[in-house]
């Protein structure tokens, strides 16, 4: 299995290609839909890396894929400007998941 990147930034695409991860650059919702569809249909893709921006701008599209398919795994990664998440997002996520305060 391999990873595949869908990004809106050429620097991210170049960096990931240097690490051996192929991908595409998209700018519009239509391009994202097409790239995501093609990446999902490739049985070699086990993980699809998406920019956090896509999850914020098009949550319906990302959630639809996550709910209907087990594989490939969709992972949102921050762009070069950093993450938009709170500094304690992992702790908050665990607290919500298990119902205990850590």
Provide the 8-state DSSP code for 79.
Answer: B
In the chain, where are the structural domains located? Answer: 2-98
Angstrom distance (rounded) from CA 95 to CA 46: 28
pLDDT averaged over consecutive 10-residue blocks of the chain (102 residues)? 92 91 94 94 93 88 86 84 61 67 62
Rounded Cα distance, 77 and 82, in Å: 9
| Inter-residue contact 70 to 46 (CB < 8 Å) | no
Burial (Cβ within 10 Å: 0-12, 13-18, ≥19) of residue 4 = buried
Q: Does domain 2-98 have CATH number 3.40.50.10580?
A: yes
Q: What is the pTM of this model?
A: 0.77
**Per-residue pLDDT at 39:** 94
Would you state the pLDDT for residue 17?
Answer: 93
């Amino acid at each position: 299995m391999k990873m595949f990147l869908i990004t809106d930034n050429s620097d991210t695409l170049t960096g990931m290609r240097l690490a051996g991860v192929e991908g595409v650059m998209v700018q519009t919702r239509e391009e994202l839909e097409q790239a995501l569809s093609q990446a999902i249909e490739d049985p070699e893709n086990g993980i699809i890396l998406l920019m956090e921006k896509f999850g914020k701008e098009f949550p319906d599209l990302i959630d639809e894929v996550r709910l209907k398919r087990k594989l490939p795994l969709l992972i949102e990664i921050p762009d070069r400007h950093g993450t938009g998440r709170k500094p304690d997002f992992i702790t908050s996520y665990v607290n919500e998941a298990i119902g205990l305060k850590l």
